[in-house]
């Protein structure tokens, strides 16, 4: 995990809590009906397609939120290249807890790894050029910190986090800025009798 994500970890915890509440992870009627509550087991998180890993610590946090007694061993770090068949983590503990957390954990892992993988392709494409791959503010609502983290894990860099980071005049803002500037200049000229 990089410094920027570490500083925003409280926000990540809120995102995880929202995701788990959407999935009703603490009310899994199927698991409760068919899995004995004390059954212990071990699961492996297996890579299905090659790419760049991102979100493994977020996935770990999901498992720990569902059941703090689960042991999650991370075998590969974010930003690493992975191949189909690689095992990136193992989870040991109550099978019911593992099942309740796995979909949410994998959703984060797949989404963020997808962003990191695509970013790494662009980074490779401009290798050797004076170009730099950066992210934008065009992110999934509520997921900005995580998606920007995934871009960094893919070798890209963060542009600006929010509108208050720095001035950036683009497209329609430029058109509006020119119109406003003309009106202000006309007002200034009129008020100060410069004509």
Catalytic option among 77, 138, 182, 183 = 138
**Other Cβ atoms closer than 10 A to 109:** 23
Alpha-carbon distance of 35 to 76, in angstroms, equals 30
132 in catalytic set = no
Q: What Cα–Cα distance (Å) separates residue 90 from each residue in 19, 39, 45, 85? A: 21, 17, 6, 14
Q: How far is CA 194 from the centre of its chain?
A: 54
**With contact defined as beta carbons under 8 Å apart, do 119 and 51 qualify?**
no
Contacting residues for 30 by C-beta, under 8 A, at least 6 apart: none
Which phi and psi angles does 84 have, rounded to 5°?
-55, 130
Positions annotated as catalytic residues are: 138
């Amino acid at each position: 995990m990089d410094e920027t994500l570490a500083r925003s970890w409280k926000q990540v915890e809120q995102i995880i809590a929202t995701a788990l509440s959407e999935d009703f992870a603490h009310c899994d009627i199927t698991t409760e009906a068919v899995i004995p509550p004390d059954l212990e087991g071990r699961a492996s998180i297996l890579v299905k397609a090659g790419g760049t890993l991102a979100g493994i610590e977020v996935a770990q946090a999901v498992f720990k939120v569902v059941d703090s007694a689960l042991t999650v061993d991370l075998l590969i770090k974010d930003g690493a290249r992975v191949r189909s068949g690689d095992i990136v983590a193992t989870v040991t503990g109550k099978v019911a807890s593992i099942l309740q957390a796995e979909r949410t954990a994998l959703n984060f892992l797949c989404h963020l790894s997808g962003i990191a993988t695509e970013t790494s392709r662009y980074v490779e494409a401009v290798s050797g050029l004076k170009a730099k791959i950066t992210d934008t503010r065009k992110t999934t609502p509520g997921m900005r910190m995580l998606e920007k983290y995934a871009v960094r894990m893919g070798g890209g860099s963060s542009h600006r986090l929010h509108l208050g980071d720095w001035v950036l005049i683009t497209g329609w803002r430029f058109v509006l800025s020119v119109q406003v500037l003309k009106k202000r200049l006309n007002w200034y000229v009129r008020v100060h009798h410069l004509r």
